[in-house]
Each structure stands twice: as structure tokens, then as C-alpha cells.
């Protein structure tokens, strides 16, 4: 019988200690870079999923499922997608693509016949993203995606977009081209100086990089940043931001009624808003009305919802586990204005799952915020609505810090369904509503001047 | 050394020519070829999903290969009595064991290399938008798999000196599963900061048992993210050194047991 | 002549459910250089275990042994000896030439000598024409010959052959036997373990018979086989008489109506003849016969394990 070689045993013991130290040294990096942050164990991953996920099968199963969910999407089987996304992200919580694309599907692609997306799903998309963010803290990707949903899909409550984009730009892996979006979000949140600072910093960085590399893509990027910066300065000047700070905004030429320094926002434009809501058929609305801004392109948000149901633009508290409540009605669209009026037909009759109309009373909301308006509209209204007025519907309590247009009307279920008292007609309108001057020529701007 | 290489070379040749292993290899290859065609419709991130999925298949196939290659390595020699013709030559038992191990690891490396090659070829055919980063990531992951599976083979080798092949298959499988989930479990227990006896116990287990997560870089989310927290090359190097050291420990233990064993 | 192998109370104990079993039980052997030594016994007698201990593949529980002057456990001595296990399988994917080159590498034999030696040995075992065939295509006899060839690579002074003819056809038997004799002529010591007595009988100088791990008989063959037997055949004998004829070493039984008496030649035949005659029988033949190894074997193992039975068992165990 051989005796163990003492030197060999000693060396092995030493190696054992060394491997432990290496392992210990690697662990923090693993946590920072490769960890799935405890997914499954905390959330009660069931036995099947655990089995499927063992031994590295996880990523593979997740990949297969993801492919399948994509096929469901393309064949229009939306209902099958949610549980699959749920499973995929359980299996492989590091798969950022699944969170990103999945939330995009959920927020954007459940649509009705007129391509209006189903807003009831937005909180689910946000819930999926917030879960993804939790598991992928070190990358910009899902912070950016979440910010984008607030910035573009919700297109309101821009402090939330700012919150997410600010985190996105701090990640090491964020491409420089995606940083400018934060400046846009600042602008919509009314934080002009932050936007200005950021544009300035981006321009400085891009110039420095161009000085170093001298290549075409960086030159283009530098030019873009310069453009952004210059545009913002110009807009701040012409909209009287600096003038207001210098106390010269409201100065008149002595002895006249003329402004000393004319600004775009001077002489606020009267929105002169009024609307007629006509239920022209069961679940079909026609909205006509007046709009004071002559410039084409302002969009007035319209929401038709159950009186007791409103969407909070926040992650669904249940996470992605449950589908939306199919009894709730929430329709959101926008009214495109042209030639100082709008005229829009909204047909909700063909999508009963999206618009069940189970409630007795409905609210119709009209909302216009200068913050999310296009630049040329903002040129009139200003960022905070200082350049607009309306005798009835300007509100300052709806979005603090901004003058917005807000009007709401009520519809009953009988009106929407055109029955009972409303079998012949169902109309709601602003007091003193006057039919707009319309033209037979559609799609042509007929104003000679945009000043009146 | 001459003896070790002679044995390693013969084992490599035999493993490459063994039909069962070829079948497994073919299944892996078939998977790799089929998988891209499953996935023609994704609007975004097709490459990302595909890379992860194929790496998953590669990992599973090579783990199965590593275990099946190793568990029968010694028992087959005894059953066929070739071990007696070898040990009655001026060959030490450790030389035999190490030679056998190196041979099967060599075979493993060749097979993983082949599968990776096929993967890259199908990849470049199906994914015209694949970048050099994706290619580099696949190659880097495959390199790590070679070391990860060598560690797995070392563990199977150690067990093969104690238990029968079937038992070994399950034991090694369990160690692999546990070693793969080691960091996640440890992290979820919050054990790195836990005090008391339980905390100490889990820390000891964490750094004493084989940890396959150390030799794996597929868990990371994106190429860009790999740069977070220091150089990836350093992390990979640490993982490789870890694997080599741990594998050596397994081999030394295997030799110590095998030296004393009746065959 | 020196001593090639010497064992001193060599013992191997295995634990079983019913307690400890000595598979090899205080074995004391001496094999001289240059002889063909037959190590005989039924399967399970402890032959292979003994060889494994002598080769350092298995470790003795008690006692020790010396091989070529070195105490067991020293693998250096392996340079001068070789071992052909019972029915080994070689790496089937390799050709005959490759196998030999592989084993040559284990002796650190360098090229070009390696290939030269391998080719010469293939020639010696009549496999030169099949050198490039893979082992999987070899017959059992060819595999056994390639085994012999590999055991000669280091030009050993001592060869252990474990059941070298097991499972071979008669022609292969003869070929292997001739090769073994050739080795003895070259001055090698050959240690053959076998239960195939007819082969050993023709080539062994000395035998030891082992049963249950213990030596039951040993010595030079000519001494052991001294003495013979007589076979008496008679007809027309009434049944029942054979019981009276049996005594120590005497076998009497009926075959096809004939009474056959098989007795040692030390017993006078007159008594048998008288008994047959008085019972009304007729003696057909009285044939004296030299003692065969089979007889010795059966005597030694006490008749409890009959040879044919053992052969069948060993086939099953393959």
C-alpha cells in the first residue's frame, strides 16, 4: 500500500486555498456583470421552471420561447405573447432584448382597427421594464427604454422620462448619440437650463472627440450637437426666456402699446377652444370644434374613459402576471388641427375587447399641453403656455408649472350606445358652441397669415 | 512525460472515433444548423437572441460530452483489461490517469472547436448583420467552455475512481447543476454578508465547492455591458486559472484514490 | 539458475458479506529463471489475483514477494517483464502496427527503432500482412497474437501469460504454444496461468496447482505425473456390481451397458478381473495409461470442481 506523498498533499491543500481566493476575488465582478440578481428564488420560481433552468438550459429555453412569442406576434396571436414573455424573462432575466422588445410589443402593438394602441397595456409594459431594470442595472438599455415609453408613448409626466434618461446616460455603455434625448426630456419637463447645459456638454465632448479622431462620423455628431445647442439658444431668445430673466419681457415702447422687445409669445394666441361631441352611431364619435392656433399641426389629446377608471402611468403593481381588465374602457387619441378647426370620427364599435363600454358613465377629456407640442407650435405658446390664452379652458392645476388646455364632458352609456332617450341623437357640446368655418378643400392650408 | 502523451494521444484518437460520441456531436451540430432557421422573423435583436441560444446549446452538448467521455474512461479500461497491459509496463498510475484525462480533454476541445466552427459558419450565413463583436463573443464563450468542461471532466474523473459510471453520471450532473447555480443561490441567500454559523457555512461552501459560474461569460447581457467593472480579459483569465487549479486538485485527489484502489 | 519470482506468505483478503475470504492464502512460490512455470487451478482459485499482486496492480493484504530480485511495488522492474492478461481487448480503432508503436512508447522506445521493432514483432507473430488492419477486424487468435507481440516489445526476461489460449480455436492454440516454446528457447522465464491443462502439459517444466488460494500440489511435471492408471472394460455384467468395486481412487461406472473401471496402477487388476468373471461378465479390454495432468488436477482439487464444469463457467464469465 502506498503512503500519500506529504509534499503533494501539502501542495494540493495550498492550491485549494488559492482557488478559494480566486473565486472570492471573482465574485464581486460576477455580481456586477453576470448576475441575474436572484431572479426566481425571490419570486417563487416553480419547480418546472427551476428544472428547465438548471445546468445552463435556461438561456436556450428562453431563446426558443422568445422565438415562439415573436411568431405569435407576427401571426396576431397577442394573447399568447404575455405569458411567454413572462416565462422567458423568468428563465433568462439577463436577456435585455426580451424586456426591450417585449415592452415595445405590449405598449405599442395591441391596436384597434384604426391603429390606436391599447393604453391599458402601458402599465404592464412599464412593469416588465422595471423588472428588467432590476436585473440589468449596469446597462443603459432598459433605463433608456423605460424613459422612451414615458417620453414617447405616455408623452406626458416628463419628470418620469427625465428620471429614467438621467440614469441611462450615466451608464458606461450608453452610446453618445442617445444622450441628447435627455435634453429633449428636460425641455418637455420645462427644465430649460438643464437642457441647455446638457447640449453644451455634449457639444463640448463631441468637439473634443472630433479633434482627436478627425473622422467623418464624429464630425457629423459634433455638427448635430452644435445644431442642437444653437437651436435651443435661438428658441430661448425668440420665446423671451432670457428677456423675462432680464426683466425686459413686458416692457413697452414708451408712450405706445407696442412691445419694446417683440417676442414670438407676445400677444398670447387665443385658443378659443370649443367642441361638439356627437355620437353618430353606436360607439362611434364625431368630434368637431374650433382651435385658435392657425399654424397646422397642434394635436389635442382626447380621452374617452370609464368615469371610475383612469390610467396611472406607472408600472402595474401586480407586475406582468395578469392581463388587463377586459371590462375597462380607455380610448386615447389626438385631434389634428388645421385651418383653425378639427373634425374627427372615432370608431370604437369594431373592437369590443378594447372598448367594452360596460360602465354607466364616461368622461371625455380634451387636453393640450405646450410642453409636448411641436417646435413651431411652441414658438407661439412658449414652453409653459405663456403665449396662449382661452376664456374658459386654461388650467394651471392639471400640470403644475404649465398652462394647459383642459376640458371634460360626460357621456352616459345610453348616449354611447344610442338607446333610450338618445336613440335619435346624442350630442354634448361646449356652451355657446359655434360650428367652425370649414372648407371643402381638404388638406390645404387656406390661411393667408398665421398671425390671426 | 512520454508515457502520459502516448496515453493521451491514444485516448484522444479513440474518443474522436467512438461512435456514440459522434452521434452526440452530430445532434449538437444539427441543433446548431437548425436553430437559425427557427428565427427569421424577429424585428429587433435577432442576433442577440441567437447568440445566447446557440451558446446554450453548445454548453449543454459539451457538458454531456464531457461527462460521457469521462465516466467510462477508467471502467472501460478495466473491463477490457487494457489497463493491465499498460500498468504492467513502466507506467505509473498517475501517468495513466493524467494521460487518460488529457486525452479526453483534448477530445473535448476538438469537439467544442468543431461545434463552434459550425456555429460560426451558420451564423455568418444566416446573420448578415452579425458583427465582429458577436463572433468574438461566441469564440470567447467557447474557449471558456473548454475550461469549464475540463473542470467537469476532472470531477467526473475523481468520481470514477470511487463509483460506477451510472452513479457517476448523476453525481457529476448534480455537481454541475449546483456549481452552475452556486453564485445565484449564494447571492439570493444574501450570504456574503450573513453572519453566524449559517453565513460562515455558506461562505465556506461557496468558495470550496466547484463553481462553474466562474468559468462562464455567457450570463452577461450585452457586449457593451461586458466592459462594466474592469477588463473582461482579466475576468476570463481569472476564470481559466481557477478552472485549471480546481481541475488539478480533482486530478490529484483522483490519483491519491486511484493509487490505493484495487483494479 | 537464479530465482525469477519468490513469494513469501503472499495473501490477499477480500471482505464479503459472509466475512473475510482469503483469495490468495499464504502463498509460497519460487519460479526459477528460464523455466516455463504452470500456475494451475480452477477459476476463482486466485491465479489472476496472484499475478496482479506480483505486477503491483493489486496490493497484498499480507506477506510479500520479489520479482526479478525487486520487492513488488517497484515499477522499474516492469522494464524487464511483461504481462498478457486473459482475453484483453486492445484499442479497436488502432491498427496492429499502431498498437505496437503505442505500447513501445510506454517503454520510451524512440523512433525509428519503435517502428522497426513493431514490424519485426508483427513478423514474429505472423501478422506482418495484417499490420495495417484495425484491431476491430482481427480474429480472436490474431488479437491474442498481437497481445503476445506487445508483451515482447521490451524483450522481457520474464513473461506472465494469463490463460494465453483461452477461447482460441485449435490452430491458434498450436500457434500460441509454439510461440511460448520459442520464448523458452530464447532463455525467457514464462509464467503461465491456465486451466487448459492439455496445453500446459506439453510445455510446462514445473507446475503449481492452486485451489481456494492455497497450493494443493506442486513440483516438476515428470515427478507429479509419475504413476498411471488402468482402464478395464467389461460386458454382460449385472448392474449393482460397480458399487462394490469402488474404493480409493477407483472409478467404476456403466456406459452403454459396458462397465468401465478406472483404477490407479498401484492397485492389482486381478481383483477386478475376478469380480467381473464371478458375476458372469466378460472382460473386453485392459488398457494401462500414463497419468495425465487432468488426473492430477482432479486429485488435487479433490474432485469437487470438475474440470469441464469449470471450463463452462469460465466461458460464462467472459
User: Is A145 part of any domain?
Assistant: yes
Say whether B92 and C75 touch across the interface (CB within 8 A): yes
Same-domain status, A299 and A382: yes
User: Is A192 part of any domain?
Assistant: yes
Q: Is A211 on the interface with B (CB under 8 A)?
A: no
Count up the domains in chain A and report the number: 2
Same-domain status, C267 and C205: no
* Closest-CA residue to A264 (of A299, A236, A296, A233): A236
Q: What is the CATH number of the domain that holds A54?
A: 1.25.40.10
Q: Do residues B27 and B34 touch, judged by C-beta distance below 8 A?
A: no
User: Is C78 part of any domain?
Assistant: yes
Same-domain status, A425 and A279: yes
Same-domain status, A232 and A273: no
Say whether A63 and B183 touch across the interface (CB within 8 A): no
Q: Do residues C1 and C34 touch, judged by C-beta distance below 8 A?
A: yes
pLDDT tens for residues B56-113? 778 888 888 899 889 988 998 888 888 999 999 999 999 999 999 999 999 999 888 8
Q: Do residues A52 and A58 touch, judged by C-beta distance below 8 A?
A: yes
Mutation choice for B interface testing from C106, C143, C155, C157 by most B CBs within 10 A:
C106
Same-domain status, A277 and A217: no
Q: Are strands A341-347 and A284-290 parallel, antiparallel or unpaired?
A: antiparallel
- Judged by average pLDDT, the poorest of A79-83, A361-365, A369-373, C251-255 is A79-83
Terminal Cα-to-Cα distance of chain A (whole angstroms): 108
User: What is the distance between the alpha carbons of residues A195 and A229, in angstroms, rounded to a whole number?
Assistant: 9
User: What is the distance between the alpha carbons of residues A95 and A73, in angstroms, rounded to a whole number?
Assistant: 18
pLDDT top residue among A320 and A30: A30
Q: Is B89 on the interface with C (CB under 8 A)?
A: yes
Domain boundary among C191, C224, C257: C224
ipTM exceeding 0.90, yes/no: no
Same-domain status, A300 and A205: no
- Count of helix runs (H) and strand runs (E) in chain A: 14, 11
User: What is the distance between the alpha carbons of residues C234 and C275, in angstroms, rounded to a whole number?
Assistant: 11
The reported pLDDT for the residue numbered B224 is: 45
Q: Do residues C60 and B60 touch, judged by C-beta distance below 8 A?
A: no
Domain boundary among C186, C202, C224: C224
Map residue A369 onto helix, strand or coil.
coil
User: Is A262 part of any domain?
Assistant: no
- Mean pLDDT confidence for A89-110: 83
The reported pLDDT for the residue numbered A279 is: 95
Whole-Å CA distances, B236 to A170, B188, B218, B219, C153: 26, 24, 11, 13, 46
The reported pLDDT for the residue numbered B146 is: 95
Say whether B56 and A15 touch across the interface (CB within 8 A): no
User: What is the distance between the alpha carbons of residues C110 and A321, in angstroms, rounded to a whole number?
Assistant: 70
Same-domain status, C183 and C235: no
Query: Which chain A residues are closer than 8 Å to B249 by Cβ?
Result: 12, 15-16, 19
pLDDT tens for residues A33-67? 776 553 333 333 334 444 445 545 566 666 666 76
Element (H, E) at B221: none
The reported pLDDT for the residue numbered A65 is: 65
Nearest to B6 among C82, C83, C102 (CB): C102
The reported pLDDT for the residue numbered A38 is: 37
- Mean pLDDT confidence for A360-364: 95
Whole-Å CA distances, C303 to A34, C24, C249, C309: 73, 20, 11, 11
pLDDT at B229 over 60: no
The reported pLDDT for the residue numbered C308 is: 38
| Residue-range definition of the domain harbouring residue A215 | 47-238
Same-domain status, C133 and C275: no
The reported pLDDT for the residue numbered B220 is: 54
Domain boundary among C175, C206, C224: C224
Triad C97, C102, C106: Cα angle to 5°: 145
Same-domain status, A231 and A339: no
Same-domain status, C66 and C128: yes
In sequence order, what are the residues at sequence separation of 6 or more whose Cβ sits closer than 8 angstroms to the Cβ of residue B258?
Answer: B74, B93, B94, B97, B161
User: What is the distance between the alpha carbons of residues A414 and B173, in angstroms, rounded to a whole number?
Assistant: 66
Q: How many CB pairs under 8 A join A and B?
A: 183
Q: Is B261 on the interface with C (CB under 8 A)?
A: no
User: Is A32 part of any domain?
Assistant: no
Say whether C87 and B2 touch across the interface (CB within 8 A): no
Q: Do residues C236 and C281 touch, judged by C-beta distance below 8 A?
A: yes
Alpha helices by DSSP H, listed for chain C, are: 47-55, 96-106, 113-124, 140-151, 170-185, 197-203, 221-224, 241-245, 270-278, 293-300, 307-317
* Closest-CA residue to C205 (of C35, C42, C18): C35
Categorize the per-residue pLDDT at A412 as very low, low, confident or very high, splitting at 50, 70 and 90: very high
The reported pLDDT for the residue numbered B42 is: 44
In sequence order, what are the residues at sequence separation of 6 or more whose Cβ sits closer than 8 angstroms to the Cβ of residue C121?
Answer: C100, C149, C150, C152, C153
In sequence order, what are the residues at sequence separation of 6 or more whose Cβ sits closer than 8 angstroms to the Cβ of residue B22?
Answer: none
- Mean pLDDT confidence for A102-123: 88
| Residue-range definition of the domain harbouring residue C254 | 228-290
Nearest to B6 among C106, C150, C151 (CB): C106
Same-domain status, A316 and A214: no
Terminal Cα-to-Cα distance of chain C (whole angstroms): 38
Nearest to A60 among B56, B235, B241 (CB): B56
- Count of helix runs (H) and strand runs (E) in chain C: 11, 15
Same-domain status, C195 and C286: no
In sequence order, what are the residues at sequence separation of 6 or more whose Cβ sits closer than 8 angstroms to the Cβ of residue C13?
Answer: C20, C21, C22, C23, C61, C62
- Judged by average pLDDT, the poorest of A280-289, A293-302, A413-422, C237-246 is C237-246
Say whether B222 and A173 touch across the interface (CB within 8 A): yes
Say whether C56 and B87 touch across the interface (CB within 8 A): yes
**Torsion angle, alpha carbons of A147, B129, A63, B216, to 10:** -90
The reported pLDDT for the residue numbered A299 is: 92
Categorize the per-residue pLDDT at B44 as very low, low, confident or very high, splitting at 50, 70 and 90: very low
- Mean pLDDT confidence for A181-203: 95
Same-domain status, C213 and C245: no
Q: What is the mean pLDDT of chain A?
A: 85
Categorize the per-residue pLDDT at B34 as very low, low, confident or very high, splitting at 50, 70 and 90: low
Q: Is A36 on the interface with B (CB under 8 A)?
A: yes
Say whether B38 and A38 touch across the interface (CB within 8 A): no
Terminal Cα-to-Cα distance of chain B (whole angstroms): 23
Phi and psi, residue A287, nearest 5°: -120, 120
Q: Is A34 on the interface with B (CB under 8 A)?
A: yes
Say whether B88 and C55 touch across the interface (CB within 8 A): yes
Q: Is B126 on the interface with A (CB under 8 A)?
A: no
Q: In chain B, whose CA is at the least distance from the CA of C102?
A: B6
Q: Please report all neighbours of C, defined by 3+ CB atom pairs within 8 A.
A: B
Count up the domains in chain B and report the number: 1
Categorize the per-residue pLDDT at A75 as very low, low, confident or very high, splitting at 50, 70 and 90: low
Same-domain status, A344 and A221: no
Say whether B221 and A141 touch across the interface (CB within 8 A): yes
User: What is the distance between the alpha carbons of residues C280 and C282, in angstroms, rounded to a whole number?
Assistant: 7
User: Is C12 part of any domain?
Assistant: yes
pLDDT top residue among B219 and C231: C231
Q: Is A12 on the interface with B (CB under 8 A)?
A: yes
Q: Percentages helix, strand, coil for chain B, rounded to the nearest 5? A: 80, 0, 20
Same-domain status, A233 and A138: yes
Nearest to C103 among B17, B89, B262 (CB): B89
Same-domain status, A84 and A200: yes
The reported pLDDT for the residue numbered B210 is: 92
Using CB atoms within 10 A of its CB, is residue A380 exposed (0-12), middle (13-18) or buried (19+)? buried
User: Is A329 part of any domain?
Assistant: yes
pLDDT at A262 over 70: yes
Query: Which chain C residues are closer than 8 Å to B94 by Cβ?
Result: none
Q: What is the CATH number of the domain that holds C9?
A: 3.40.50.300
Give the DSSP letter of residue C134: B
Say whether A26 and B41 touch across the interface (CB within 8 A): no
Q: Is B42 on the interface with A (CB under 8 A)?
A: yes
Same-domain status, A180 and A310: no
Q: What is the CATH number of the domain that holds C255?
A: 3.30.70
| Residue-range definition of the domain harbouring residue B109 | 2-260
User: Is C316 part of any domain?
Assistant: no
Categorize the per-residue pLDDT at B119 as very low, low, confident or very high, splitting at 50, 70 and 90: confident
The residue ranges of chain C whose pLDDT is under 50 are 304-318
User: Is C55 part of any domain?
Assistant: yes
Residue in the structure block whose three cell numbers are 464630425: A219
Categorize the per-residue pLDDT at A119 as very low, low, confident or very high, splitting at 50, 70 and 90: very high
Count up the domains in chain C and report the number: 2
The reported pLDDT for the residue numbered C316 is: 31
Mutation choice for B interface testing from A6, A33, A72, A96 by most B CBs within 10 A:
A33
Nearest to B6 among C76, C89, C105 (CB): C105
Q: How far is B11 from chain C (nearest CA, A)?
A: 9
User: Is A20 part of any domain?
Assistant: no
Whole-Å CA distances, C179 to C121, C129, C135, C149: 12, 18, 20, 10
Say whether B42 and A67 touch across the interface (CB within 8 A): yes
The 3-state secondary structure of C76-108, one letter per residue: HHHHCEEEECCCCCCCCCCEHHHHHHHHHHHCC
Same-domain status, C165 and C26: yes
The reported pLDDT for the residue numbered B21 is: 65
Categorize the per-residue pLDDT at A164 as very low, low, confident or very high, splitting at 50, 70 and 90: very high
The reported pLDDT for the residue numbered B49 is: 64
Same-domain status, A225 and A275: no
User: What is the distance between the alpha carbons of residues C51 and C276, in angstroms, rounded to a whole number?
Assistant: 50
Say whether A9 and B256 touch across the interface (CB within 8 A): yes
Say whether B89 and C89 touch across the interface (CB within 8 A): no
Amino acid at each position: 500500500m502506498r503512503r500519500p506523498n506529504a509534499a503533494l498533499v501539502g501542495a494540493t491543500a495550498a492550491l485549494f486555498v488559492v482557488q478559494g481566493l480566486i473565486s472570492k476575488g471573482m465574485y464581486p465582478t460576477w455580481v456586477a456583470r453576470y448576475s441575474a440578481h436572484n431572479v426566481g428564488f425571490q419570486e417563487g420560481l416553480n419547480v418546472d421552471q427551476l428544472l428547465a433552468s438548471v445546468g445552463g438550459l435556461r438561456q436556450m429555453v428562453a431563446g426558443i420561447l422568445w422565438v415562439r412569442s415573436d411568431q405569435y406576434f407576427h401571426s396576431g396571436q397577442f394573447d399568447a405573447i404575455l405569458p411567454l414573455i413572462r416565462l422567458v424573462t423568468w428563465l433568462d432575466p439577463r436577456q435585455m432584448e426580451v424586456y426591450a422588445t417585449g415592452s415595445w410589443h405590449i405598449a405599442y402593438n395591441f391596436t384597434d382597427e384604426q391603429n390606436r394602441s391599447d393604453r391599458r397595456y402601458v402599465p404592464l409594459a412599464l412593469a416588465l421594464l422595471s423588472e428588467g431594470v432590476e436585473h440589468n442595472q449596469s446597462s443603459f438599455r432598459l433605463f433608456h427604454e423605460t424613459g422612451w415609453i414615458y417620453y414617447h408613448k405616455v408623452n406626458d409626466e416628463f419628470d418620469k422620462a427625465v428620471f429614467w434618461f438621467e440614469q441611462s446616460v450615466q451608464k458606461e455603455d450608453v452610446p453618445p448619440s442617445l444622450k441628447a434625448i435627455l435634453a429633449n426630456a428636460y425641455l418637455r419637463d420645462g427644465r430649460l437650463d438643464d437642457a441647455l447645459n446638457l447640449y453644451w456638454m455634449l457639444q463640448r465632448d463631441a468637439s473634443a472627440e472630433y479633434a482627436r479622431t478627425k473622422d467623418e462620423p464624429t464630425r457629423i455628431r459634433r455638427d448635430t450637437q452644435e445644431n442642437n445647442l444653437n437651436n435651443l439658444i435661438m428658441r430661448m431668445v425668440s420665446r423671451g426666456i432670457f428677456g423675462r430673466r432680464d426683466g425686459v419681457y413686458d416692457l413697452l415702447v414708451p408712450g405706445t402699446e407696442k412691445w419694446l422687445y417683440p417676442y414670438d409669445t407676445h400677444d398670447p394666441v387665443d385658443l378659443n377652444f370649443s367642441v361638439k361631441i356627437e355620437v353618430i352611431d353606436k360607439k362611434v364619435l364625431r368630434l368637431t370644434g374650433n382651435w385658435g392656433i392657425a399654424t397646422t399641426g397642434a394635436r389635442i389629446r382626447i380621452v374617452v374613459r370609464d368615469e371610475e377608471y383612469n390610467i396611472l402611468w406607472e408600472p402595474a403593481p401586480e407586475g406582468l402576471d395578469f392581463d388587463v381588465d377586459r371590462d375597462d374602457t380607455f380610448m386615447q387619441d389626438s385631434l389634428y388641427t388645421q385651418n383653425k378647426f378639427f373634425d374627427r370620427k372615432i370608431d370604437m364599435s369594431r373592437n369590443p375587447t378594447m372598448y367594452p363600454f360596460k360602465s354607466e358613465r364616461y368622461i371625455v377629456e380634451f387636453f393640450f399641453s405646450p410642453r409636448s407640442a411641436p417646435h413651431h407650435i411652441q414658438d407661439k405658446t412658449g414652453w409653459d403656455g405663456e403665449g396662449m390664452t382661452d376664456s374658459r379652458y386654461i388650467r394651471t392645476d392639471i400640470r403644475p408649472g404649465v398652462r394647459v388646455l383642459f376640458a371634460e364632458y360626460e357621456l352616459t352609456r345610453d348616449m354611447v350606445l344610442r338607446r333610450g332617450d338618445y336613440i335619435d341623437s346624442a350630442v354634448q357640446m361646449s356652451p355657446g358652441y359655434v360650428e367652425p368655418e370649414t372648407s371643402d378643400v381638404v388638406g390645404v392650408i387656406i390661411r393667408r397669415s398665421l398671425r390671426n | 512525460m512520454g508515457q502520459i502523451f502516448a496515453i493521451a494521444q491514444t485516448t484522444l484518437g479513440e474518443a474522436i472515433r467512438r461512435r456514440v460520441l459522434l452521434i452526440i456531436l452530430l445532434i449538437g451540430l444539427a441543433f446548431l444548423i437548425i436553430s437559425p432557421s427557427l428565427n427569421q422573423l424577429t424585428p429587433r435583436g435577432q442576433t442577440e437572441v441567437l447568440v445566447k441560444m446557440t451558446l446554450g446549446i453548445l454548453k449543454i452538448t459539451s457538458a454531456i460530452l464531457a461527462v460521457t467521455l469521462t465516466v467510462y474512461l477508467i471502467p472501460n479500461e478495466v473491463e477490457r483489461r487494457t489497463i493491465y497491459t499498460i500498468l504492467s509496463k513502466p507506467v505509473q498510475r498517475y501517468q495513466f490517469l493524467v494521460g487518460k484525462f488529457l486525452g479526453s480533454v483534448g477530445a473535448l476541445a476538438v469537439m467544442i472547436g468543431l461545434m463552434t466552427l459550425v456555429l460560426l459558419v451558420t451564423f455568418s450565413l444566416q446573420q448578415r448583420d452579425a458583427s465582429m463583436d458577436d463572433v468574438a463573443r461566441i469564440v470567447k464563450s467557447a474557449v471558456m467552455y473548454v475550461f469549464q468542461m475540463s473542470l467537469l471532466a476532472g470531477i467526473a474523473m475523481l468520481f470514477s475512481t470511487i463509483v460506477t459510471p451510472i452513479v457517476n453520471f448523476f453525481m457529476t450532473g448534480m455537481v454541475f447543476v449546483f456549481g452552475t447555480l452556486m453564485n445565484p443561490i449564494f447571492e439570493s441567500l444574501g450570504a456574503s454578508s450573513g453572519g453566524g454559523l449559517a453565513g460562515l457555512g455558506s461562505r465556506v461552501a461557496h468558495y470550496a465547492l466547484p463553481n462553474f459560474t466562474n468559468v462562464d461569460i455567457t450570463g452577461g447581457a450585452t457586449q457593451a455591458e461586458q466592459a462594466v467593472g474592469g477588463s473582461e480579459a482579466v475576468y476570463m483569465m481569472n476564470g481559466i486559472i481557477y478552472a485549471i487549479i480546481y481541475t488539478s486538485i480533482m486530478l490529484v485527489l483522483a490519483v491519491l484514490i486511484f493509487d490505493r484502489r484495487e483494479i | 539458475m537464479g530465482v525469477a519470482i519468490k513469494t513469501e506468505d503472499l495473501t490477499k483478503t477480500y471482505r464479503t458479506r459472509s466475512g473475510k475470504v482469503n483469495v490468495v492464502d499464504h502463498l509460497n512460490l519460487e519460479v526459477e529463471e528460464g523455466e516455463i512455470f504452470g500456475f494451475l487451478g480452477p477459476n476463482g482459485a486466485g491465479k489472476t489475483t496472484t499475478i496482479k499482486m506480483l505486477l503491483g496492480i493489486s496490493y497484498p493484504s499480507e506477506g510479500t514477494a520479489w520479482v526479478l530480485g525487486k520487492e513488488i511495488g517497484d515499477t522499474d522492474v516492469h522494464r524487464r517483464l511483461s504481462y498478457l492478461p486473459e482475453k484483453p481487448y486492445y484499442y479497436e480503432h488502432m491498427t496492429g502496427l499502431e498498437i505496437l508503436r503505442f505500447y513501445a512508447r510506454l517503454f520510451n522506445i524512440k523512433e525509428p527503432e519503435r517502428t522497426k521493432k513493431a514490424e519485426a514483432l508483427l513478423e514474429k507473430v505472423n501478422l506482418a500482412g495484417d499490420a495495417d488492419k484495425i484491431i476491430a477486424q482481427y480474429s480472436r487468435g490474431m488479437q491474442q497474437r498481437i497481445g503476445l507481440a506487445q508483451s515482447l516489445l521490451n524483450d522481457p526476461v520474464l513473461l506472465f501469460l494469463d490463460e494465453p489460449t483461452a477461447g482460441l480455436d485449435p490452430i491458434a492454440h498450436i500457434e500460441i504454444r509454439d510461440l511460448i516454446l520459442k520464448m523458452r528457447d530464447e532463455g525467457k522465464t514464462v509464467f503461465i496461468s491456465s486451466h487448459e491443462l492439455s496445453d500446459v502439459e506439453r510445455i510446462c517444466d514445473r507446475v503449481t496447482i492452486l485451489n481456494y488460494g492455497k497450493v494443493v500440489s506442486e513440483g516438476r511435471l515428470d515427478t507429479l505425473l509419475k504413476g498411471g492408471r488402468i482402464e478395464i472394460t467389461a460386458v454382460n455384467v449385472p448392474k449393482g456390481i460397480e458399487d462394490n468395486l469402488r474404493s480409493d481412487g477407483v472409478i467404476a461406472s456403466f456406459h452403454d451397458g459396458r462397465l468401465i473401471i478406472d483404477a490407479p496402477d498401484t492397485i492389482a487388476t486381478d481383483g477386478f478381473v475376478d469380480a467381473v468373471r464371478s458375476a458372469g461378465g466378460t472382460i473386453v479390454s485392459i488398457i494401462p495409461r500414463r497419468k495425465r495432468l487432468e488426473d492430477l488436477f482432479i486429485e488435487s482439487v479433490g474432485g469437487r470442481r470438475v474440470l469441464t464444469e469449470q471450463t463452462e463457467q469460465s466461458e460464462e464469465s467472459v
